[in-house]
Structures are given as C-alpha cells and as structure tokens.
Amino acid sequence: MTSAPHRDAPPLDELRHTAAHVLAYAVQDLFPEAKPTIGPAIENGFYYDFDRAEPFTPDDLVRLEARMREIVAADYVMTGERTTRDGAIARFRTNPYKVELAEGIPENDPITLYTIGEFTDLCRGGHAHSTGAIGAVKLTSVAGAYWRGDEHNPMLQRIYGTAWHTQAELDAYLVQIEEALKRDHRKLGQELGLFSIEEDAGGGLVFWQPKGTVVREVVQNFIREGLAQRGYQQVVTPHIASEKLYEISGHLENYAHGMYGPLEVEGQRFRLKPMNCPGHILIYRSEPRSYRDLPVRYAEFGTVYRFERSGTLHGLTRVRGFTQDDAHLFCTPEQLQSEFEQTADEAIRLITAFGFDRVGYVLSRREAHLRVNTDEIAEDAIRSALTSRGLPYTIDDGGGAFYGPKLDINVHDAIGRTWQLGTVQVDFVLPQRFALTYRGSDGADHAPVMIHRALAGSLERFFGVLIEHYGGAFPAWLAPIQAVVAPISEHQLDYATSVRDRLRAEGFRAEVDTSNEKLGYKIRHWKTQKVPYILVAGRSEVEAGTIAPNERGRDEKRPAIAVDEFVAELRDRVAQKV
C-alpha cells in the first residue's frame, strides 16, 4: 500500500466504490461459486453482498484482502462501456441478481458496465481512474443481509471493508474504531445498567433502567428550563390517531414506509403516530387565533413510532419507538426570522452544555420539483440566523423535508465521529393543508408559518451519543450517581450513611457502599461504574467529620476534606456543568 495519495487522488466515495469492485474481483477469483450482487460505498468504507452457500470465515477475509492488494498493485484502469438492457441481461444470465437489477432499469435508460482486469460489473459509475488509486484497504467484518433489504428474499453475505488514500489514514481510522468499540453505547449501557433492549417485548423498543432514567430526567429538565425561559407551553398528545389525520398531513403519502400499519377499531382506521406535529396542529386549531396571540409555541416530549426493519436496528441510535424533544411554533411571516433565531440560540445552548465543541450546520433544501416561492423565504430565514451568529454552514440540495427546508445540526464526538442530532424546519405547507388561520390586524384571516424543532432529536439517540461521547464517564452534573460513600469497615457505616443523607439533602445523587468487601475492591468496582467521586470514610474521617475524595480521572491521592467543603465543590461542578 502507498504512503502518499495516488496521482489522481479521487474523492473518498469514488475510491471506496472502486474498492468494492476490487473486493468482488477478488471473490470471483478465490470463490468462483459466489454470486456478486451489489456493492456501494458507505460512510467510512464499502460493502459487497454475495450469494454463497458456505459462510466466509476470518481466514477467507485474510486471503481476500491479500488478493485485493495484488489487484490494487496491478493498477488496472477502470473502463466503462454502454450496453442495452437486453445486452446486460445476456451478459449476466448466470447471475439472477444482476439480471433482476438489469430488468428493473427502464428500457431506454443508459446502462453501463465497468471493467477492471478480468472482472466486469453492472454499475452506474463514480469510480477512481484505476485500482492503484486505492492507497490502503482493509476488510473488517462479515454479516448477513437480505437481498434488497427484504426478509422475504434470500439471505446474502455482506463483506464490509474500508479504503483510504494512504496507510496513515487507514491506521488512524483503525485506532478510532478500536476506541469506538470501547465506547459502544450498547456495551456500556449494559455494563453501567443504563438501558436494555428486551427481545421478549420486540426489537427496537428501549427499556430505561433506573440509572438511565436519571440521566434522561436531567436532560429533559435542562431542556425544560430553556423552554420555560422562551415562553413555550407544554402539551401532551395521544400515541394513536385516526388515519385521516395523516392523510391530511401528507405523511401517508410521503412517509408510509416509516409508519406502522393501520389498526381497525369500530370500522375506523387508526395509526401509531410517527410524528407529533399533526397533534400540535389540532391543538392550535382548537380555538380562534389573533395576531396578538402569536407566536404560539407548543412543546412536548412526545413518543413516536417508526417502522424500522430488524436488520437496521442499532441500540439506541436506530429504534422503533422514541421520544423527541419536540416543539412547534406558529407565527406570522414577520415573526419568522426572530423565532428561528431564538431556536438557533437554544440549539447552541444545548450542544454547548452537553460538551460538543465541534458542530456542523447544514441547510437542507427541498428537491427542485418540490420547491415553491415560500422555500426561498424559509431558506433566507435559516441563512440569516446562522450568518448573524457567525455559524458556517453547508448546503444539502434535496435533503429537505417534504413540507419545507430545514436546518440540520451535526455534532462531532470526542473521537471525531459525526452524529446528526437536532433539526429545525420551516413549514408553509401544513398550515395550508389543515387550513390554519389567525385574524390579522387588517381584520382578515391569514395562514401562520410553522417551525418544527427537535434540538436533541430523540432522547434515545441523544443518550446513545452522550454515552459514546463521554465513554460512559458522564460529568458530575449528568452522572446517575454523583458520589458513593465507601466506609472502610462496618464500624463507619453509620457515618457513611449520614454523609450520604447530607448529600441527598443538598439535592445530589449519592449512595453508600454497604458491602463487606475490602476498600480496594470497593474503589475498583465504583471506578468501573464510572462514578465521579468515591468518598472514603475511615476511623480518622469519622473522628474529624471529613471524607477522603477519590476523584475519577485524577491519579494523585487527595487529602481528606470537610463534608461542607466537598458539598461546595460538587455544587460548583454541577452548576458550571464541567
């Protein structure tokens, strides 16, 4: 592998798409019975799905990776040729998957075949000039995957890999992956007793354990403080509603794939709600509104339900039921700019408090065929809010919601990974669909503008990101247990209990280790639980009315201090959210 980028230096997605072809070429050489299906580039890598009776083993991946390096070293030029649908079907007649793909292409649409060495694939393109552009490649894992993601189709074997311009980039990525495995929220969630996914209840449904629920409440209370300061009203809407509601909103037309099927009740069809916005709209519409009443700001920690295939579920970050820190604002067009700016300020407050110091803002525009005159008004409001606060942003054409442009907020965690969290959307469409009005100063009825905003996104996903960002070692203000009092022996248990009670009286989350274990074991145990403070209480501490703090992340031993002094220290850390 090379140590400097190839002369062509293609974009990483093209490099990785080429690596997927190289993988299929290697599989064809070493396992000719395997039928290649599809192999796209994905974030940080690529995969290719194969139909093969025998499972690929770790030793097979080693052999395949070695063959891939030979193909890369050969520097085969990627050549393309046009063909017809019938020509493609004839070319891949022994591979039913490629035939199905070819048959699905409209008859007059261009069809291209790409070749490296002796391997030809059906592909739309987007590749490096040659295989030699791949500076470093590694195969990472094998997993099962249904053909076209449908569980009624054959199960295939998906080989994952990653490719980079240089070996140094690959090495850095592998270090990041190793660190990510240590921070995996699914593993830490179980080890720290934060949450569980109970398969008896069904995949993708989260059970918040007591300690996880504590963190969730801290997050919710922080968000509630901001909502109260900015004049939001809390509301609660049902988890189920008539299907007609989602016909009006457009969700059945535009979002049916993400909704659970209908429930028949007394001849009427109901749906589990996939979004909170129709419910908030009905509350707005429940009484006449004047321009003097606007803006109206409704907020709800609303639980919604989305149909996700079992193969896509992933811990807390991809679930079937989740709670959003959802809010909907109804305002006049003249108020749109100030309301959006206020929402941007609240987003900044949230991500700053929770320790994200690298943030990306994306203006996601609707696809060209959906754009109308109001899109420009909405986009200007988003741009102006970001520009006035000196926040750089990028543009994603086609990434907007079906009812309007939006601002997506992406954070980078402690090891450099990007997570999409909050979103703020400007909507002129749903007020029209639901015939929302307010009486203007001119005495006429006008349609309000809606702003949809969920700044944490979902509490489940946000919690999963927080676990991985902090590696489970939450700062003191967030930690489910902020301090544990560890008596050296049972003779100090009453004193330890009194210290705990004092801390609880001050509003802190404190426990006592009542086990009969030796002190060293107690300290090791609570360190694995990532508790910010372990407060040791021995005979001398009892006599002096002190405790000896063992602080997480601090190697040197701290001297004993008065309980009042520790209370002041913890109060300061919690208040400053450090």
Using pLDDT thresholds of 50, 70 and 90, give the confidence band for residue 402: confident
Candidates 325, 326, 413, 427; catalytic one: 326
| Catalytic (active site) residue 123 | no
Q: What pLDDT was estimated at residue 400?
A: 81
pLDDT tier at 5, thresholds 50, 70, 90: low
Active site residue 326: yes
Position 434 scores a pLDDT of: 97
Distance between CA atoms of 352 and 358, rounded to whole angstroms? 9
The mean per-residue pLDDT over the stretch 461-470 comes to 96
Q: 28, 157, 324, 425: which one is catalytic?
A: 324
Q: DSSP for 287-351?
A: S--BGGG--EEEEEEEEEE----GGG-BTTTB-SEEEEEEEEEEE-GGGHHHHHHHHHHHHHHHH
- Percentage of residues of the chain with pLDDT beyond 90: 83
Q: Which entry of 16, 127, 306, 469 is annotated as an active-site residue? A: 306
What architecture does CATH give domain 195-237+276-467? 2-Layer Sandwich (3.30)
CATH superfamily of 12-183: Threonyl-trna Synthetase; Chain A, domain 2 (3.30.980.10)
Active site (annotated) includes residue 328: yes
Assess whether pLDDT exceeds 60 at residue 534.
yes
578, pLDDT greater than 80 = no
Residue tagged active-site, from 138, 277, 297, 408: 277
pTM, two decimals, is: 0.83
Q: Is 209 a catalytic residue?
A: no
DSSP notation for 231-294: T-EE----SEEEHHHHHHHTHHHHSGGGSPPPEEETTEEEEE-S-SHHHHHHHHHTS--BGGG-
Q: How confident is the model at residue 9 (pLDDT cuts 50, 70, 90)?
A: confident
Average pLDDT score over the chain: 93
pLDDT on residue 369: 78
Based on the residue annotation, tell me whether 21 is a catalytic residue of this protein. no
Q: For residue range 348-385, list pLDDT tens digits in order.
A: 999 999 999 899 999 999 887 778 888 899 999 999 99
Question: Which tens digits make up the pLDDT trace of 427-437?
Answer: 999 999 999 99
Among residues 211, 446, 452, 509, the one annotated as catalytic is 452
Q: Is the pLDDT of residue 2 over 80?
A: no
Specify the pLDDT at position 467: 97
CATH annotation of 483-576: 3.40.50.800
Cα–Cα dist 68/20, whole Å: 10
pLDDT band at 343 (very low <50, low <70, confident <90, very high): very high
Q: Nearest CA to 216 among 189, 177, 198?
A: 189
**For range 223-234, the mean pLDDT:** 95
The domain locations on the chain are 12-183, 195-237+276-467, 239-272, 483-576
pLDDT for residue 557: 83
What mean pLDDT do residues 403-421 have? Answer: 89
Residue 272, pLDDT above cutoff 80: yes
Residues 252, 274 contacting (CB under 8 angstroms): no
Q: What is the pLDDT of residues 122-158, one digit of tens each?
A: 998 889 999 999 999 999 999 998 898 877 899 999 9
- What integer is the mean pLDDT of 451-476? 95
